[in-house]
């Protein structure tokens, strides 16, 4: 199968690199100095699961030179979905499978505004990785996991085929749950709560879980997210909020989330796709999310300033 990875940052670089390392034909869509370094030296990845250099057959900022692919993997920021969907059009054929590996739960719906919804899967990932320098990715601590499935919860040959591709690579745990929407909401329950509370308090996991006040804030945020999901008809597993809290309890004391780091660094973030989405999607089904509303409102000025809107 012919694949493409749109976005070669920490997420796309690690997973796309592992697929290239395993011998698969994966086109890298990147840009700037990062792209030039990949072209010259390959993508250099340092990982606690083995260092490697990935040399894709094509690395480009021009999707039109790639041609139609069988699988389009997306690893952009959530707020870049619309632009990415337009740019990747030359690579999308009638049977191309589009798999977003993004935070939040709205990516499939937004992609379905550009392409037939039947071509779009639900997806998410868990990985702690980032660009260290142009052409260089570092990954560590968390077991890299990729999760995807049909939005209607049906089994399919294409999901199994993609699962086998990912399973052929080392350093990746692959999951294809029956209910991908529940899995996406479970991830949002964790990441939006951790990101939001971390950004508001400006402290890492060790502090957030140790202080009774911030721990309670995390728990309330997680409970709100689960309530919104269930109000929207998503069948969440029992103990979903507690599972997310347990995940934070097992993080490194100094762990922070990418949205938190972006906000503290004065960069555009996924605030709207995480805390904002929970408030917005909850309002549609008359389910309030006051903790997330507070987080969103408190961080909105910094977000607007980072985007030059304030």
SS3 3: strand
pLDDT at 214: 98
pLDDT at 154: 81
Tell me whether residue 232 is exposed, middle or buried, using C-beta atoms within 10 angstroms of its C-beta: 0 to 12, 13 to 18, 19 or more: middle
Q: What tens digit of pLDDT does each residue of 194-225 get? A: 999 999 999 999 999 999 999 999 999 999 99
pLDDT at 279: 98
pLDDT at 155: 84
pLDDT at 105: 95
- HSE-up (13 A, CA, CB side) for residue 217: 24
pLDDT at 140: 85
pTM attached to this predicted model: 0.92
pLDDT at 124: 96
pLDDT at 120: 97
pLDDT at 141: 78
Partners of residue 139 on adjacent β-strands = 47, 129
Q: Which of 291, 290, 104 is nearest to 188 (CA)?
A: 104
Q: What tens digit of pLDDT does each residue of 69-82 get? A: 999 999 999 889 99
Q: Which domains does the chain have, with CATH numbers?
A: 2-176 (3.40.50.720), 181-306 (1.10.1040.10)
Report the C-alpha gap between 121 and 30 in whole angstroms.
Answer: 22
Q: Which of 167, 217, 200 is nearest to 302 (CA)?
A: 200
pLDDT < 50 regions, the chain = none
């Amino acid at each position: 199968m012919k694949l493409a990875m749109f976005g070669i940052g920490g997420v796309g670089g690690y997973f796309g690199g592992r697929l290239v390392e395993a011998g698969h034909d994966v086109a890298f869509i990147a840009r700037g100095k990062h792209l030039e370094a990949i072209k010259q030296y390959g993508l250099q990845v340092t990982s606690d699961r083995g260092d490697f250099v990935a040399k894709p057959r094509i690395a480009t900022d021009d999707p039109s030179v790639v041609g139609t692919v069988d699988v389009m993997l997306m690893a952009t920021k959530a707020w870049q979905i619309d632009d990415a969907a337009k740019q990747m059009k030359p690579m999308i054929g009638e049977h191309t499978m589009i798999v977003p590996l993004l935070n939040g739960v709205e990516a499939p719906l937004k992609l379905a505004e550009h392409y037939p919804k039947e071509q779009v899967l639900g997806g998410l990932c868990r990985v702690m990785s980032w660009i260290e320098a142009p052409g260089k990715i570092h990954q560590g601590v968390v077991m890299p996991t990729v999760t995807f499935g049909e939005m209607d919860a049906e089994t399919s040959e294409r999901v199994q085929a993609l699962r086998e591709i990912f399973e052929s690579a080392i350093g990746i745990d692959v999951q294809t749950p029956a209910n991908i929407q529940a899995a996406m909401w479970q991830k949002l329950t964790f990441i939006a709560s951790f990101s939001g509370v971390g950004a508001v308090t400006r402290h890492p996991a060790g502090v957030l879980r140790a202080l009774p006040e911030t721990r309670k804030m995390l728990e309330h945020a997680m409970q709100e997210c689960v309530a919104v999901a269930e109000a929207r008809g998503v069948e969440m597993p029992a103990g979903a909020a507690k599972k997310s809290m347990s995940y934070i309890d097992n993080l490194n004391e100094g762990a922070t989330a990418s949205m938190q780091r972006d906000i503290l660094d004065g960069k555009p973030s996924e605030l709207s796709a995480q805390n904002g989405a929970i408030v917005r999607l909850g309002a549609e089904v008359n389910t309030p999310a006051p903790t997330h509303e507070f987080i969103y409102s408190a961080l909105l000025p910094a977000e607007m300033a980072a985007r030059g809107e304030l």
